[in-house]
């Protein structure tokens, strides 16, 4: 096979990929234009604010099963953070 024929085959394959990639990019751009800020996104801030406000939970009492408040408060926010994301997930899935 000659080098020129290899170059031509490579160019055709590269053009096909770039055309397919640009079509996908256009669809993604259109979706992004439709969606803007939603107040429901503010739910994502709750776990961050709750965990960054350390003086609020920097204490030992009350204990649950011998575990100080400092530790079980942080563990509770793992579950609460996931629960805060559920409404966002369902709203995004419904919008598809």
pLDDT, one tens digit for every residue, the chain (96 residues)? 555 566 566 555 555 555 555 555 555 555 555 567 788 888 889 999 999 999 988 988 999 999 999 999 999 999 999 998 998 889 888 876
Give the pLDDT score at 91: 86
Q: 88 and 44 in one domain? A: yes
Distance between CA atoms of 85 and 41, rounded to whole angstroms? Answer: 9
Q: 46 and 76 in one domain? A: yes
Q: 82 and 45 in one domain? A: yes
Domains held by the chain: number? 2
Domain containing residue 26? 1-36
DSSP 8-class letter at 39: G
Distance between CA atoms of 44 and 53, rounded to whole angstroms? Answer: 15
Q: 16 and 49 in one domain? A: no
Q: What is the pTM of this model?
A: 0.55
Q: 51 and 81 in one domain? A: yes
Q: Enumerate helices (H) and strands (E) in the chain, giving the number of each.
A: 4, 0
Q: 29 and 13 in one domain? A: yes
Q: 47 and 90 in one domain? A: yes
Q: 58 and 81 in one domain? A: yes
Give the pLDDT score at 88: 87
Are residues 85 and 44 in contact, defined by beta-carbon separation less than 8 angstroms? yes
Q: 25 and 55 in one domain? A: no
Distance between CA atoms of 12 and 5, rounded to whole angstroms? Answer: 11
Q: 56 and 13 in one domain? A: no
Give the pLDDT score at 52: 92
Give the pLDDT score at 75: 94
């Amino acid at each position: 096979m000659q080098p020129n024929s290899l170059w031509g085959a490579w160019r055709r394959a590269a053009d096909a990929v770039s055309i397919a990639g640009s079509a996908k990019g256009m669809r993604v751009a259109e979706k992004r234009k439709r969606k803007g800020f939603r107040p429901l996104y503010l739910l994502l801030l709750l776990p961050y604010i709750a965990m960054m406000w350390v003086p609020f939970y920097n204490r030992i009492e009350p204990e649950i099963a011998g575990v100080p408040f400092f530790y079980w408060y942080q563990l509770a926010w793992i579950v609460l953070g996931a629960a805060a994301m559920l409404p966002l997930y369902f709203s995004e899935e419904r919008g598809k």
